[in-house]
């Protein structure tokens, strides 16, 4: 499990967990969980289209991730955010269905991008994952204060001249960048679980933003590391463990919050 062949797996999974924990914290805080689901799943269409043209599927994944973020931000000017996200998601899924129907040898690649292939991470994939992960975290760090204000205190942000639409677009683009890095490792369908579960659990444990983000990263790391270990030992899909562990953390967080909020008996 810790042999030379698994080094790339541990490195890539650690990078994915860090960026998922950081990005997921703001996705939960801003109420953008639907977008966190739509962008990676819709970007699958880009990978399908790229494979159909004989191009690198990860390039198509990145292009469609960015296109999805721009589409959600653009449509949100004329429609409610949830409606804009749904319309963008449906359009991208429709294109994906069309591209897959035209392809004859895409089944294995489609499965890998949907459910992840963490045990198949090659050495030449590790460096791009680390670079994109570092860029994503750096961008979140640069935007931290205005992003926090626009997420938690929109009125204060507006009074300070922070434009909500610009921050929304910037955050969606960072989420798209993170998606293009993480989907090849944990899969489009599981990225949502890794991004939202730990962040939601962390917010149940504390209301302090810095501590909540730190806990989100820690929970995401534990989820991925334990999931890899269990998947390696049992030969069960990693996605099963990522989903179950993430849900368990969230339910535990909610139970903790309910326990401390319960009035003391006898008073």
What is the CATH classification number for the domain harbouring 195? 1.10.3470.10
Is residue 199 in a domain?
yes
Specify if 125 maps to a domain: yes
Q: Is the pLDDT of residue 145 over 70?
A: yes
Chain segment 11-53, per-residue pLDDT in tens: 888 888 898 899 989 988 888 888 887 887 777 788 778 877 8
Contact 238, 13 (CB under 8 A): no
Tell me which residue range forms the domain holding 121: 4-259
CA–CA gap between residue 65 and residue 199 (Å, rounded): 21
With respect to residue 264, please indicate whether it lies within any of the assigned structural domains.
no
pLDDT band of residue 266 (cuts 50, 70, 90) is very low
Share of the chain above pLDDT 90, in %: 11
Instruction: Give CA–CA dist 128/27, Å, rounded.
Output: 23
Closest CA to 48 of 118, 86, 95: 95
| Residues 105, 206: Cα–Cα separation, whole Å | 48
Give dist(CA 77, CA 86) in Å, integer. 14
Q: What is the pLDDT of residues 64-95, one digit of tens each?
A: 888 888 888 888 887 788 888 888 888 888 88
Q: Is residue 219 pLDDT above 60, yes or no?
A: yes
Q: Model's pTM, two decimal places?
A: 0.83
Mean pLDDT of the chain: 82
Residue 266 lies in a domain: no
For the chain, how many structural domains are there in total? 1
DSSP state of 78: T
């Amino acid at each position: 499990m810790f042999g030379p062949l698994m080094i790339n797996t541990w490195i890539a999974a650690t990078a994915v967990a860090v960026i998922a924990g950081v990005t997921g914290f703001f996705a939960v805080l801003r109420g953008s969980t639907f977008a966190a689901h739509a962008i990676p799943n819709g970007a699958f269409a880009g990978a399908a289209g790229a494979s159909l043209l004989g191009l690198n599927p990860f390039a198509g994944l990145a292009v469609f991730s960015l296109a999805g973020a721009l589409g959600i931000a653009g449509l949100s000017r004329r429609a409610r955010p949830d409606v804009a996200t749904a319309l963008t998601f449906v359009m991208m899924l429709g294109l994906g269905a069309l591209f897959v129907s035209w392809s004859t040898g895409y089944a294995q690649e489609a499965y890998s991008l949907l459910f992840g292939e963490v045990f198949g991470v090659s050495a030449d994939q590790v460096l791009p994952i680390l670079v994109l992960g570092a860029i994503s975290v750096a961008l979140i760090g640069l935007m931290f204060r205005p992003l926090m204000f626009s997420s938690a205190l929109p009125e204060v942000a507006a009074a300070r001249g922070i434009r909500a639409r610009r921050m929304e677009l910037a955050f969606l683009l960072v989420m798209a960048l993170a998606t293009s890095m993480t989907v090849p490792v944990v899969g489009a369908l599981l990225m949502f679980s890794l991004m939202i579960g730990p962040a939601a659990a962390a917010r149940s444990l504390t209301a302090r933003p810095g501590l909540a983000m730190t806990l989100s990263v820690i929970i995401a790391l534990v989820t991925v590391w334990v999931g890899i270990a269990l998947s390696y030992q049992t030969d069960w899909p990693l996605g099963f463990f990522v989903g179950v562990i993430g849900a368990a953390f969230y339910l535990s967080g909610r139970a903790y919050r309910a326990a401390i909020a319960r009035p003391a008996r006898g008073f």
